[in-house]
Structure 1
Amino acid sequence: MGLSMNVVIAIFVSLFAATTLPTSNAWGTEGHYMVCKIAQSYLTSTASSAVLNLLPAGANGDLASECSWADTVRGAYPWSSALHYIDTPDNLCTYDYTNNLTQALMFLSHFMGDVHQPLHVGFTTDAGGNSITVYWYNVKTNLHSVWDTKIIQTSMSNYFGNSMDTMANSITANITSTQISQWNSCGSSTSACADTVATESIQNACNYAYKDAPNNAYLSDTYYLSRSPVVNTRIAQGAVRLANFLNQIFV
């Protein structure tokens, strides 16, 4: 193997500690699923084999099926909640090594999606949009939820027959080799990549998420049609970068 996965995940989590919020669960099930589904298609044969060996039997070789695992275990493993916004706890190293690598894979896959959701680096005063009430096509929700799930679910309903796989395939088909090169330009420097992703998310939060979305705003087609391409791009970027990380880990 190349980079240690445990080292990568610890560095990646700690680098984003200052920008993530404990009240914010970036991307819903759909967004995380698509990030991992797309990423798996970009793995090298070596990385793909390693990932398949680490996935639990119930995943049936599908990384996407485990991409929301990090959210589902918060109740069973209270210590894991902290991993979403502070350093890895010291006692993580006491787990069985093989099991620890499996969990590290699923945490890293989840966190890579998390940090690409713009409001995961949103403003502290509104908890990343959680305290901003909005009406999504007249249904009361909050701005963070719009970016977590509503935009994606609207796209799935309108264009993809409510299929996560179909939407993921569409996003994949529109990723160019030039984009892959640009998105992975930070190379093997974890800190540089973290800075790049955080900067992108902050800019997207300011330029798209918060813009024209004050408290009690009614958001519909105008907001959706101008923001859904941003969401699709962030999913694509998260997927490509996740694949790049895994390809560097498993060489």
Structure 2
Amino acid sequence: MFQSFSIISLLYLLIFPSLDWGKTGHQVVGALADQHLTPKAQKEIEDLLDGASLASISNYGDEIKSNPKFRHLNPWHYINLSFDQSNVSAKKNLKGDVVMAIKKCIAKLKDLDEPKSERVFYLKLLVHFIGDIHQPMHVGRKEDRGGNDIRLRWMGKSTNLHRLWDSQLIERHGMSHSEMVQDLISLSPQVIKEIQSQPLETWVAESQALAIIIYEESPSNSSLEQDYYSRYLPLLKMQLQRGGLRLAGELNEIFR
């Protein structure tokens, strides 16, 4: 049975590669959010998660991908936008996208008539999807599947643009998620409040703007080295920080 499950999981990863931030990136978002919760939100979340941290459940959206029951959630991890489109002007995916998914999760969590199991499920997804929307290649182009089809070389090894931004830049940083949280720049309460007050449409626009730059500076068949890492690490960390702060902001609003 284990061998069969492993083969199925491997085939799934080959068909749907690199769907979001790697494990560490999502944990950074969750751990940072944990640090910025109000006491009331923290208590409500602890009750829902039976004491588990946001960091510990942040990869739930990935962990259920190999289960056919949740295959309909695949499009919820991203939104495809061409360079001249905005989230408002783009034709909506009838199967959903990450913007729709975040709104749905928030609505489910606010509905106190929902059973606890449903609210727990959508809380776990919300933590994951807010991480996803801050990964620039999740607001990438449909024609190359958010950079999955852009082959290049990273530090001498073959990879693709999406995978590079999912996990390989973070792996190059060489820190655990808790170390990365400590490594983020210190922001004033005023700046944090400003980041948290920005609407979902702004999150999309920020990621899209970064994606456009990344596409231009990471063309197919390019060979990327240390200078690329040095140039883009601050932007990557900025997106993780925005994701964690905004996750906390949304949860504080939901559980106020």
TM bucket normalised to smaller: 0.7 to 0.9
Is 1:174 aligned to 2:186, yes or no? Answer: yes
Match of 1:4 in 2: none
Q: CA deviation at 1:165?
A: 1.0
Partner of 2:11: none
Distance in 1 separating the partners of 2:161 and 2:76: 24
Please report how far the alpha carbon of residue 96 of structure 1 lies from its aligned counterpart in structure 2 after TM superposition: 7.1
Deviations 1:127-178 (A, max 9, x none): 11111111110011000011100111111x2xx3xx221112222x523323
Q: Secondary structure at the match of 1:210?
A: helix
User: 4+ runs of 1 displaced by more than 6 Å?
Assistant: none
Matched with 2:93 is none
Q: Which has the higher contact order (CA 8 A, sep 6+)?
A: 1
Partner of 2:204: 198
Selected match of 1:120 from 134, 138, 142: 138
Q: So what's the TM-score if we normalise by structure 1?
A: 0.78
Shift of 1:122: 0.9
What do you get for the CA RMSD once the two structures are aligned?
2.2
The answer to whether the aligner puts 1:65 opposite 2:71 as a matched pair is no
The one of 42, 59, 67 equivalent to 2:36 is: 42
Q: Distance in 2 between matches of 1:198 and 1:213?
A: 20
SS in 2 for 1:141: strand
C-alpha contact (below 8 Å) 1:24/1:120 kept by paired residues = no
CA distance in 1, matches of 2:122, 2:77: 13
Q: 2:169 matched to 1:164?
A: no
Structure 1 residues without counterparts, runs of 5 or longer: 1-21, 187-192
Counterpart residue number, 1:227:
232
1:210 aligns with 2:204: no
Quick one: structure 1 residues 197 and 96, their matched pair in 2 at CA, closer, same or farther if it must change by over 3 Å? closer
Which residue identity lines up with residue 73 of structure 2 in the other structure? S
1:134 equivalent among 149, 152, 160: 152
Structure 2 residue ranges without an equivalent (≥5): 1-15, 79-95
How many residues are matched? 211
* Paired position in structure 1 for 2:77: 84
Q: How many angstroms apart in 2 are the aligned matches of 1:123 and 1:23?
A: 15
Equivalent position of 1:103 in the other structure? 121
Distance in 2 (alpha carbons) for counterparts of 1:108 and 1:96: 16
Aligned equivalent of 2:65: 74
CA contact (8 A) 2:18 2:163 kept: no
Q: For residue 212 of structure 2, what is the amino acid of its counterpart?
A: C
Structure 2 CA distance for aligned equivalents of residues 179 and 135 of structure 1: 37
Secondary structure of the residue that 1:75 maps to in structure 2? coil
Partner of 2:241: 236
Change (3 A) 1:84 1:206: closer
